[in-house]
Structure 1
Amino acid sequence: MNDVIRRPQCITCLRPASHCICGCIRPVDDAGTGRAPVLILQHPLEVTNVKNSARLLHLCLPGSTLVTGEAFEPAALAALLAGPRRAVLLYPDTPGDRSLGIAPPPTYEPADAEELLLVVLDATWRKSRKMLYLNPALQALPRLALQDVPPSRYLVRKAHAPGQLSTLEATAYALAQIEADEKKFAPLIDAFDCFVGRLQAAEAAHRHAG
Structure 2
Amino acid sequence: MEEPEHDTNPIIATNSPPLSPPPQPRQLCTQCDRPLPVCLCHVLPTTPLQTKTKILIIRHPHESRHKLNTTPLLSKTLLNATTISSRRLLPHHLPNQSPPAIYLFPPSPSTPAVTLSQLKSTNLLNYQTTPLLLIVFDATWKHAKEMVGASEGVLKGFAARVCLDGVDESVVGGSIYDSELVLRKEPFGGCVTTLEAVARCLGVIEPNGNEVQRVLIGILREMVRLQAGFLKPVKPRTKMLKKNKHKEEGNSKID
Partner of 1:138: 155
Shift of 1:8: 3.6
| 1:69 and 2:86 matched | yes
Partner of 2:145: 129
Contact 2:54 2:131 in 1 (8 A): no
From 112, 116, 135, the counterpart of 2:132: 116
Shift of 1:10: 3.7
Shift of 1:61: 0.8
Q: Aligned equivalents of 1:128 and 1:54: distance in 2?
A: 14
**SS of structure 1 residue aligned to 2:65:** coil
Shift of 1:41: 1.1
**SS of structure 2 residue aligned to 1:203:** coil
Cα deviation 1:10-62 (Å, max 9, x = unaligned): 454443444433333246643xxx62121111111111211111111221111
Partner of 1:170: 197
Cα deviation 1:71-127 (Å, max 9, x = unaligned): 45x3432xx2442522211122212xx4xxxx6689974224653111111111111
The residue identity in structure 2 corresponding to 1:22 is C
Partner of 1:186: 214
Cα RMSD of the aligned pairs, angstroms, is 3.2
**SS of structure 2 residue aligned to 1:158:** coil
**SS of structure 2 residue aligned to 1:88:** strand
**SS of structure 2 residue aligned to 1:121:** strand
Partner of 1:195: 223
| 1:86 and 2:108 matched | no
Q: Aligned equivalents of 1:153 and 1:82: distance in 2?
A: 38
| 1:35 and 2:35 matched | no
Q: Aligned equivalents of 2:156 and 2:43: distance in 1?
A: 34
Cα deviation 1:103-155 (Å, max 9, x = unaligned): 66899742246531111111111111111122221354211222369x85263
The residue identity in structure 1 corresponding to 2:92 is A
Cα deviation 1:170-204 (Å, max 9, x = unaligned): 11110111136424421111111111111112226
**SS of structure 1 residue aligned to 2:102:** strand
Contact 1:28 1:184 in 2 (8 A): no
Contact 1:87 1:119 in 2 (8 A): yes
Contact 2:202 2:212 in 1 (8 A): no
Distance of aligned partners of 1:14 and 1:198 in 2 relative to their CA distance in 1, 3 Å threshold: same
Higher gyration radius (CA): 2
Instruction: Point out where structure 1 has 5 or more consecutive residues left out of the alignment.
Output: 205-210
TM-score, normalised by the number of residues in structure 1:
0.74
Q: % of aligned pairs identical?
A: 26
Higher-RCO chain (CA-CA 8 Å, sequence separation at least 6): 1
Q: Aligned equivalents of 1:147 and 1:51: distance in 2?
A: 23
Distance of aligned partners of 1:123 and 1:20 in 2 relative to their CA distance in 1, 3 Å threshold: same
Q: Aligned equivalents of 1:173 and 1:46: distance in 2?
A: 21
Distance of aligned partners of 1:121 and 1:137 in 2 relative to their CA distance in 1, 3 Å threshold: same
Partner of 2:75: 58
Q: Aligned equivalents of 2:65 and 2:39: distance in 1?
A: 13
More helix by share: 1
The residue identity in structure 1 corresponding to 2:139 is A
The residue identity in structure 2 corresponding to 1:121 is F
